[in-house]
Structure 1
Amino acid sequence: MEETMASIFEEKTVEQAIQKASKALDIPKNKLNVEVLSYGSTGIFGLVGIKKARIRVQPKLEHKTGYHKEKREKPSQEKLPRENLLQEKAPQEHPPQKNLKETDTDTPDIPQPPLEEIEAFAKDNLAYVLDKVVDHSVITSTLENEGVALQVESENSALLIGKHGQTIDALQYLLQRMVHKKYPGRVPVILDIENYRNRREASLTSLALRLAEKVKHSGKPATIRPMNAYERRIVHLVLQPVREVTSRSSKGAGHLKKMTIFPKNSRSSRNKNAATTKPAKAPGPATS
């Protein structure tokens, strides 16, 4: 059997390199064997140390002699006996079924990098960012729930956490974007500073339960000042077992939204007091 030479392709990402190979070889992506030689690097903020992704591709077994097969000439029906024509036109009793794995997908199996590699990438980039903001910080990382958890200790943790946790949320979002750009598998990245998130969860839990008791006794709704999606989810989960109240987030396109706790089965009371209820202050971040 003739051995087909493998081809090397480079692009900004592995997916773009596969698309380039598919177009150059005129072979669907799901008919290629892909070996990732390098996942590339976006460098620091996409400016320094950029490296392209590099792959080696080879047509799968059924395509090693070329994707486009020559059309075979059909025998002329005039030369066939009548019995053969009838057999040829008869429908198959059990038509062959499609192989869904081969025909219903257009994406080859891309080897996923080990989590340890993603962990090191996230830790290095976070260290670079923090070095420009604070004088000294210590970063520890662990692998949790198929994701990367980063914990930071710093003498200036208040600056890194920010008012109501806005800075730590921004840092986490930036870090996630950097990781997801290099590794498209959507590996979750969680950033915590001086155990802030656990302390914040505890304070929100206490506030939600306290307001729930107030709503149950007064029959009037209570509103919590704007929170991000992560904090709103904490409050919703805390209040789920409390049967006498329900919670709802305000509508809008902003990142921060208010939450209102309503007494159940009291629609008229809710409509009457929703407009005049003053927001309760959510506890600020406890910083060390």
Structure 2
Amino acid sequence: MKKVTVSGKTVDEAIEQALDKLSVARDEVEVHIVEEAQKGFLGILGGKPAVVEVKVKPDPLKEALTFLRETIQQMGVSASVTEEIMKDGVYFNVSGEEIGVLIGKRGQTLDSLQYLVNLVANKNSQEYLRIVLDAEGYRQRRREALEKLAMRLGTKAIRTRQEVRLEPMNAHERKIIHTTLQSVKGVSTYSDGDEPNRRIVVAPK
């Protein structure tokens, strides 16, 4: 974290000098007044300058982005990361070679990276930041595959009049299954088991 300690005739003057040294705006820093300016005898002799410690506020998104890029590099994967701000959060999109290593089985590695990136981002954030990590459109492809799977198994449950149990999924993927079948007549869904083996059960009504 960048910080400087600066003195000046007044607190304001010291802060301005610090901002100039750090090349940042006033709203990008935190200011700690170490000493107020003191006038000397008769306002002339023995006066003391104001001393302030000014440090740059951490940028949660920059910290998260830097963490992600360094982690990908340490994993030995050649990839680039772009940032996109959306209504429901910030999206980090990863593209490059050997992207499958970052996705992992059923997206488990990608989910783990997303969890860590959110931890880093929210460590110093005043408001909660939601970061979604994607790799060359994997999230959308996975969503579409889960929606098709839900419809297929919903049809099977209605036809056989028997419950159908899916493989264990994370909470986000279970929600996709629940939502997809919510409006389908003749079936209901519920979750069964404990994490990380919690799964969806599709049941005929």
1:36–1:56 contact (8 Å) kept in structure 2: no
What do the CA deviations read for 1:111-161 (whole angstroms, capped 9, x no partner)?
xx8xxx543332222111111113411111100115210110121111111
Structure-to-structure mapping, 1:64-213, within 5 angstroms: 117-145=59-87, 147-213=89-155
Instruction: Specify whether residues 185 and 256 from structure 1 end up closer, same or farther in structure 2 by C-alpha distance, changes over 3 A only.
Output: farther
Instruction: Report the residue type matching 1:125 in the other structure.
Output: F
Shift of 1:56: 5.2
1:220–1:262 contact (8 Å) kept in structure 2: yes
CA distance in 2, matches of 1:248, 1:236: 8
SS of corresponding position for 1:158: helix
Larger radius of gyration: 1
Instruction: Report the residue type matching 1:172 in the other structure.
Output: Q
CA distance in 1, matches of 2:167, 2:182: 19
Deviates more, 1:226-235 or 1:118-127: 118-127
CA RMSD of aligned residues (A): 2.3
CA distance in 1, matches of 2:31, 2:192: 48
CA distance in 2, matches of 1:56, 1:239: 56
2:60–2:122 contact (8 Å) kept in structure 1: no
CA distance in 1, matches of 2:32, 2:88: 28
Structure ranking higher in strand proportion: 2
Instruction: Specify whether residues 178 and 237 from structure 1 end up closer, same or farther in structure 2 by C-alpha distance, changes over 3 A only.
Output: same
CA distance in 1, matches of 2:66, 2:128: 18
**Counterpart of 2:200?**
259
**Counterpart of 2:44?**
none
Shift of 1:217: 1.2
Instruction: Report the residue type matching 2:67 in the other structure.
Output: N
CA distance in 2, matches of 1:147, 1:120: 15
Instruction: Specify whether residues 218 and 231 from structure 1 end up closer, same or farther in structure 2 by C-alpha distance, changes over 3 A only.
Output: same
1:136–1:155 contact (8 Å) kept in structure 2: yes
1:119–1:143 contact (8 Å) kept in structure 2: no
**1:227 lines up with 2:169 in the alignment:** yes
Q: Output the TM-score relative to the length of structure 1.
A: 0.51
Residue identity over aligned pairs, in percent, reads 30
CA distance in 2, matches of 1:161, 1:232: 18
Q: Give 2:191's match in structure 1, choosing from 249, 254, 278.
A: 249
Q: Output the TM-score relative to the length of structure 2.
A: 0.71
CA distance in 2, matches of 1:55, 1:241: 55
CA distance in 2, matches of 1:245, 1:122: 42
CA distance in 1, matches of 2:130, 2:201: 29
Structure-to-structure mapping, 1:1-80, within 5 angstroms: 38=29, 54-55=30-31
Q: Which runs of 5+ in 2 are unaligned?
A: 1-10, 13-25, 34-56
Q: Which runs of 5+ in 1 are unaligned?
A: 7-34, 39-53, 58-112, 265-288
CA distance in 2, matches of 1:37, 1:143: 20
What do the CA deviations read for 1:37-68 (whole angstroms, capped 9, x no partner)?
53xxxxxxxxxxxxxxx3459xxxxxxxxxxx
What do the CA deviations read for 1:170-217 (whole angstroms, capped 9, x no partner)?
000000000010214111000001211111101111110000001111
Equivalenced residues, count: 159
